[in-house]
Amino acid sequence: MSAERLRQQLDFLVEIDRLKEIERQTRIVGGGRRENTAEHSWHLAMYALILAEHSNDDIDVLHVLTLCLVHDIVEIDAGDTFAYDASANTDKDERERRAAERLFGLLPADQAAFMWRLWEEYEAMETPESRFANAVDRMQPAMLNHVAGEASTWKEHAVTVPQAVKRLSPIGDGSATLWSHTQSIIDEAHRRGHIREE
C-alpha cells in the first residue's frame, strides 16, 4: 500500500466535504432552511435501506447504497440543478461531466474508474439498482414537500400536476408500490393547492 495512494484517497475525502455546502431546493422538516446535498445523500441511502423490499426487481442493496452515496458528488462543481428548471437542465450533462473528471480524478485510477462507473450507471437508469436508487431520489424530496405543505418547493415554484407526474413517474420503474404512494401524495398536494392544475 503506497503512501501516495492513501494521500490521493484522503485528498478526495477532504475535497468532497464541499458537498455539505451545496444547497438544494427542498427544505428540511424542522426549521426553514434548505437541505444540502451531503445530508440528502445520507437520507437517500436510508430510504434505500429501509424501502429495499419494495423494489420491483431483486437488487443488490450494497450497490444501491453506493449509487445513493456517490451520484451527487459532481454537484460540488456543477451545483444542484432544480429538477423543474428546464433551461438549467440543458447544459447539466456537460457541467457534471467536467465535474466528474476533476473530482474523481483526485482518486487512484482504479477508484476513479469505479466512481465513474457508478455515476454513469446511476444516470443511465438501466440496471435494477439504478432504477431503484433513482426512485428513492425522486420520492425523498416529494416526501419532504408533502410534510412542508404550504412551504413546499412545489408551491414556491408553481409546479403543475403534469410537471410533477413527469418528474416523479420514473419512481414506478423502480417500485410500483412507491409510485402508487407518491401518486396519492401528488393528488393530496393538488387538492390542497400546493401543486397547480396546469
Q: Interface with a copy of itself by CB under 8 A: which residues?
A: 1, 6, 9-10, 12-14, 16-21, 28-31, 35-36, 38-39, 41-43, 45-47, 49-51, 53-54, 61-62, 65-66, 69-70, 107, 111, 140, 143-144, 147, 177, 181
Task: Name 34's bridge partners.
Answer: 27
Q: How far apart are CA 77 and CA 110, in angstroms?
A: 22
Beta bridge partners of 23: 36
Nearer to a copy of itself, 38 or 186 (CB): 38
Smallest distance, Å, CB 159 to a copy of itself? 21
Per the CB < 8 A criterion, the answer to whether 152 and 194 are in contact is yes
* Least distance in angstroms from the C-beta of 122 to a copy of itself: 15
Q: How far is the CB of 128 from a copy of itself (least distance, A)?
A: 16
Of 90 and 184, CB closest to a copy of itself: 184
Helix (H, G, I), strand (E, B) or coil at 17: helix
CB of 86 to a copy of itself, least distance (A): 28
Nearer to a copy of itself, 151 or 158 (CB): 151
**CA–CA distance, 176 with 183 (Å, rounded to integer):** 10
For residues 157 and 25, the answer to whether their CB atoms sit within 8 Å is yes
Cα gap 161→191, rounded to integer Å = 11
What is the closest distance, in whole angstroms, from the C-beta atom of residue 12 to a copy of itself in the complex? 7
Q: Say how far apart CA 137 and CA 43 lie, in whole Å.
A: 9
Report the residue number, 82 or 114, with the smaller CB distance to a copy of itself: 114
